[in-house]
Amino acid sequence: MDLRGNVVKLANAKHVGIDWFVDRIKETGIAVIIAGDKTRAGDTVSKLAAIFNAQSYAPKYDISVSRKRYLADGVAMVENAHQRDALAAAKTAFNAYSSKFMHAEKIANKKNYSDIDRIKALMITRHSIHEIVMNKKSSRYRNRFI
């Protein structure tokens, strides 16, 4: 997903290593959040978060199958249960950050700051909105994705 909540890409494969995931993510952008669907982050989530220097996200409760179906409902790109689960994890993470994202958009609009995705990405990595807008923090996070 991108930082506006749009589904950008879904992919899965059997018997692949961590490099396969890294390559798929790099084809799309640089991850700022790596999300899982279980309360305890799995090895893949933790490794990918470390590789991309991203925040890892684990929901407060394991996401139920019925909730995953609900979150993936209407998304034509979903081809199987693995993609459904990944999408549910991404949407849950996005929703967890949504109030911060709305706050970032509000301040960016007020300050006439156009790179809202950059603000969101830097906020996720624990920078303050004021610091981002006033000090023009690193451009590493332009057009990046969850």
Tens-place pLDDT, residues 73-107:
988 889 999 999 999 999 999 999 999 889 888 88
Axis-axis angle for helices 65-72, 81-110 (nearest 10): 60
How confident is the model at residue 127, as a pLDDT? 60
Report domain extents, the chain. Answer: 18-141
Q: Which residue has the tokens 């989530």?
A: 45
CA dihedral 138, 140, 141, 142 (to 10 degrees): 100
The 3-state DSSP class for residue 123 equals: helix
Q: What is the DSSP annotation of 9-70?
A: -----SS--HHHHHHHHHHH--BSEEE-SSSS--HHHHHHHHHTT-EEE--SSPPPHHHHHH
> pLDDT higher for 125 or 37?
37
How confident is the model at residue 13, as a pLDDT? 87
Residues 88, 93, 97, 106, CA torsion sign: negative
| pLDDT category of residue 56 using cuts at 50, 70 and 90 | very high
Check whether 60 has a pLDDT greater than 50: yes
pTM: 0.82
| pLDDT category of residue 122 using cuts at 50, 70 and 90 | confident
